[in-house]
């Protein structure tokens, strides 16, 4: 699949809308059955291949942050790869949880009520018009600072 520059922004914005709403049908239409997510710190359910794992990630994030949304600042594509530079926004209204690679709970912080706005870069690889791989670079330290959890 070759993604045009015009399609890149539209496709990126749609992915983040899906994350914000958590609609499993949208994930099923968008993610390959074998798709993998290289997300760090997520609960074990997020490691499930395909739409179900990505849906689990959306539910996890929505459980931590109300009014969860992403501003897409830039989106570019080359061949089968789409990259989006974003700011994730939301209010910390649920427990902040993080997990080890083995699936052990390593962080469980009560809601602070603070708003966050942190930059992220998301990478998507496509196969047969479906996402087969995702990874991201996130400003987790900046988020923890905004939540008042680190100095």
Span 120-130, average pLDDT:
94
- CA-based nearest residue to 136, from 77, 84, 81: 84
pLDDT in tens, 98-124: 999 999 999 999 999 999 999 999 999
**Rounded to an integer, what distance in angstroms lies between the CA atom of residue 66 and that of residue 138?**
18
Distance CA 63, CA 61 (A): 5
pLDDT of residue 128: 87
Measured between alpha carbons, how far is 97 from 87 in angstroms, rounded to an integer?
20
Is the pLDDT confidence value at 2 over 80?
A: no
pLDDT tens, 68-96? Answer: 999 999 999 998 999 999 999 999 999 99
**Structural domains of the chain ordered from first start:** 5-146 (3.10.450.50)
pLDDT for residue 151: 81
The pLDDT value recorded for residue 1 is 63
Does the pLDDT value for residue 4 go beyond 70? no
Average of pLDDT values for 131-147?
96
Whether this model's pTM surpasses 0.85: yes
Return the pLDDT at 7: 85
pLDDT digits (tens, 9 = 90+) for 5-54: 678 889 999 999 999 998 999 999 999 999 999 988 999 999 999 999 99
């Amino acid at each position: 699949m070759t993604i045009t520059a015009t399609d890149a922004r539209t496709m990126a914005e749609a992915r983040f809308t899906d994350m914000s709403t958590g609609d499993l049908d949208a994930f099923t239409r968008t993610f390959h059955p074998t798709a993998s997510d290289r997300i760090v710190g997520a609960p074990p359910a997020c490691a499930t291949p395909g739409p179900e794992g990505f849906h689990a990630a959306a539910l996890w994030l929505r459980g931590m942050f109300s009014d969860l949304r992403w501003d897409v600042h830039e989106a570019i594509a080359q061949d089968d790869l789409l990259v989006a530079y974003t700011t994730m926004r939301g209010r910390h209204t649920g427990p902040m949880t993080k997990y080890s690679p083995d699936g052990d709970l390593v962080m469980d912080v009560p809601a602070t009520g603070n708003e966050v706005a942190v930059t992220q870069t998301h990478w998507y690889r496509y196969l047969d018009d479906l996402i087969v791989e995702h990874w991201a670079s996130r400003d987790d330290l900046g988020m923890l600072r905004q939540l008042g959890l680190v100095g």
